[in-house]
Chains A and B, each alone.
Chain A
Amino acid sequence: MKTETFNVIWTECFEKAGIDLLNVFPEQLREKYKWRCDFSDKKRDEVLDNYTQNRNSLRKNFFYGQDNPEKLIDIHKIGACFEKAVIDAAPMSFIADEKTPWIINVSNYAAAFYSSVNMISFFLLAYYRKVNMDYYNKYKEQKIVSYPATTIGHDPYTIGRIKALALDDIMEVDFDYLSYADMLFWIEHYNRQVIESSVFVKPMESRI
């Protein structure tokens, strides 16, 4: 990945996730806990270094023909490497005390999760732009990524995923790149289903 490409991903995916996350709560609360996201060039370079290490390790361990630069890993794996890079760089800062809301305490995991989903979203927009402008416009107008509904008594899907990231990291469970990439695939697929569900499908009898 070129540095220019990473910079676009940093701006469109990471910075947007950080800003949208901070905006979930009112300014008064953000100020009370000095809740901030580090968008500096230094932090960007740290995430890039982490990402490069993660990606090289993933390629080396899991992929056929890893020495061939023509063999490129897919966006879901790239998203997983980026997600772990953000967790390890911990861009969110805040005053941690007994009264700090738990969602602020886990906000580094939230920033990492939302950044990686933004990556999937960005590349889905790119795909639709190439193959179907109706879908592209529909996704744009939707404005928010869709997630599967959970049943009563359970966390919303996103909150559950953020908690899972936090639990694994706190309990020192190794990050599972391939499973995380699989999750990103299914989030993308779910959104494709939502966007494309109104598409007219030819009756089977006309196709056989």
Chain B
Amino acid sequence: MKRSKISGMTIEEYRSWMKQRMDDIYLKNESDSVDDIVENMADTKLYVSSVDKSDFSGIAI
């Protein structure tokens, strides 16, 4: 089996080794509550559309 340059570990051994150190690479998550955000938007709407019709103008139908 091919050995990497990481202390002679195989890539599988390296992955296993890293799984013991996940706290270092877990993503941070300290976001605001979506419940609070949506509650504050209760009296308003989404006024903006994600669909740009011009993107479809060249499509043969």
A: residues with CB less than 8 A from B are 1-2, 4-5, 8-9, 12-13, 16-17, 20-21, 23-25, 29, 62-65, 71-75, 78, 101-103, 113-115, 117-118, 121-123, 125-126, 129-130, 139-140, 142-145, 147, 156-159, 178
Closest chain-B Cβ to A123's Cβ sits at a distance in Å of 6
Residue from B29, B50, B60 whose CB has the most chain A CB atoms within 10 Å: B50
Closest chain-A Cβ to B36's Cβ sits at a distance in Å of 9
Given that A29-B61, A64-B27, A64-B28 are known contacts, is A130 also in contact with B49, CB under 8 Å in the complex? Answer: no
Query: In the complex the two chains form, what is the Cα distance from A75 to B45 in whole Å?
Result: 17
A-B contacts, CB under 8 A, total: 124
Query: In the complex the two chains form, what is the Cα distance from A64 to B34 in whole Å?
Result: 19
| Secondary structure class of chain B's binding surface, majority of residues | loop
Q: Tell me if B50 and A117 are in contact (CB < 8 A).
A: yes
**Which chain B residues border A17 with CB–CB below 8 Å?**
50-51
**Which chain B residues border A13 with CB–CB below 8 Å?**
46
CB 8 Å contact bits of B9-46 with A (1 = contact, 0 = none)? 00000000000000100111111111101111110111
Q: Tell me if B26 and A62 are in contact (CB < 8 A).
A: yes
Query: In the complex the two chains form, what is the Cα distance from A88 to B60 in whole Å?
Result: 27
Chain A residue with Cβ nearest B28: A64
